[in-house]
Copies of this chain bind each other. A is one copy, B any other.
Amino acid sequence: MSAVAASISLARPAACSSRAGSSRRAAPAAPAAATPRQPTAVHAVAGARPSAEPEAPEAASTRPQPHVEVFPAMIASRLTEDNRMFVEAHRIRGNEVGPDQRTSMISIATLLQEAAGNHAVAMWGRSTEGFASDPGMAGLIFVMTRMQIQMEEYPRWGDVIQINTWFQEDGKLLAQRDFRITDKASGRELGRGTSTWVMINMQTRRLSKMPPPIREKCEAFQLQPPRHSIPRDCTRQKLPDLSLPAEIVGPVQVARRTDMDMNGHVNNVTYLAWAMETVPRDVYYGCHLYQMEVDFKAECHSGELVESLAARCATHDKLACNGAGPDALSFVHVLRRCQGEACTELVRARTTWRAGEPTSPSSA
């Protein structure tokens, strides 16, 4: 008997949350894997066929009505605020939701990456090879060195989120891209993020200043004055060192071919997935991942083996302004690739977990 896509009861381990020990029972699904609810807005917009529209008596008596005939269309992605802001909406997909029915931080990071990429295409266009391009940037590329995301609530399958993203110079060598994530139906802020980028020469791999024509173009697309999604004193904090041997050693991870992005490197969000493997089970399933800070340090290719290490760390300084609350837990994570004794640190990250179950807009 095959039963791969079957829905079964899930017992969640006891943890931060008072509801963590309760068992969940999957309701039956139609001919599809588990089939979740759509947000309230969908029902309101597109419920069953209006009763004012009479059907032929025969059809009405024999045919059940669908629950939803039409799911609303997404808004167009667009530049706004005098072309200095990019706005995009996404309806959360079923594969972006985990056993708790909520999206993961990984899915959120993927969507932020997508909005950033589309924003870049909107500004620069693209070359025939598929990348965004501006002739003035020849040989230079932006690379992400840091990412920080805070999530108040995680959306569910069918929820529609809106991502606003914008960028601004930060000194002569850095650029910053910020994000604001809202629930499309209510407008409530679900989370926020910021990322740091540098420009490098593709051949030499060395840092480069932005050439004046590119700087000028960037200025035309940046918010004035700068706007920060996370208060400045809560960002770019040094991530603590991890003492070795590590307190927590996760299974060695294999970079899959399908983890590669269009540059032929492991996608940034795959690193986050590997880091997640080291979080203790009761925390991972019972708490709310409020914040993730990630420093990207080196690249990785398919087939490579990656060690995922972690340790519980002191709750950090700016926690109050970060909003994680007094009972928060923090972990430092290191991903590294070793050949014998020689190890290369690929990623260092810190995750901060808020006591209590995650929440989502459609359960609020």
Residues of chain A touching chain B, judged by Cβ–Cβ distance below 8 Å, are: 1-8, 10, 24-38, 46, 62-64, 66-79, 83, 88, 93-95, 97-99, 101, 104, 106, 110, 113-114, 116-134, 137-146, 156-158, 167, 175, 177, 197-198, 200, 202, 205-207, 216-217, 220-221, 251-254, 256-258, 260-269, 271, 273-274, 276-277, 284, 295-300, 303, 305, 346-347
Contact = CB atoms under 8 A, between A and B. Distances in A.
B217 A132 contact: no
Nearest to A256: B273
Contact of A71 (B8, B76, B284, B305): B76
Contacts of A121: 35-38, 67-68, 158
Contacts of A6: 141, 143, 200, 202, 205, 263, 265, 299
Given A28-B131, A35-B117, A36-B117, A254 B254 contact: yes
* 10 nearest A-B residue pairs (beta carbon): A35-B132, A37-B126, A30-B120, A67-B125, A35-B120, A32-B116, A4-B296, A28-B137, A27-B133, A27-B127
Given A116-B33, A124-B30, A127-B27, A95 B261 contact: yes
B132 A30 contact: yes
Contacts of A299: 3-4, 6
Contacts of A1: 200, 205-207
Given A95-B267, A121-B35, A134-B28, A71 B64 contact: no
A159 to B, nearest CB: 11
Contacts of A264: 8, 10, 99
A143 B254 contact: no
B276 A257 contact: yes
B263 A34 contact: yes
25 contacts: A1-B207, A6-B202, A6-B265, A7-B131, A10-B264, A26-B129, A28-B132, A28-B138, A31-B175, A31-B177, A31-B197, A34-B262, A35-B124, A36-B131, A36-B262, A38-B121, A67-B123, A70-B76, A71-B78, A73-B75, A95-B110, A95-B113, A99-B263, A118-B158, A251-B254
Given A98-B258, A113-B33, A123-B66, A5 B143 contact: yes
A176 to B, nearest CB: 8
A32 B98 contact: no
Contacts of A68: 79, 121-122, 125
A93 B70 contact: no
Given A5-B263, A117-B94, A130-B156, A77 B67 contact: no
Nearest to A138: B28
A129 to B, nearest CB: 5
A232 to B, nearest CB: 18
Contacts of A117: 32-36, 94, 157
A263 B24 CA distance: 10
Given A143-B5, A220-B63, A69 B83 contact: yes
A130 to B, nearest CB: 4
A71 B258 contact: no
A129 B99 contact: no
Contacts of A77: 70-71
A257 B77 CA distance: 31
Nearest to A47: B125
Given A260-B98, A303-B251, A70 B66 contact: no
Given A69-B83, A263-B7, A273-B258, A36 B126 contact: yes
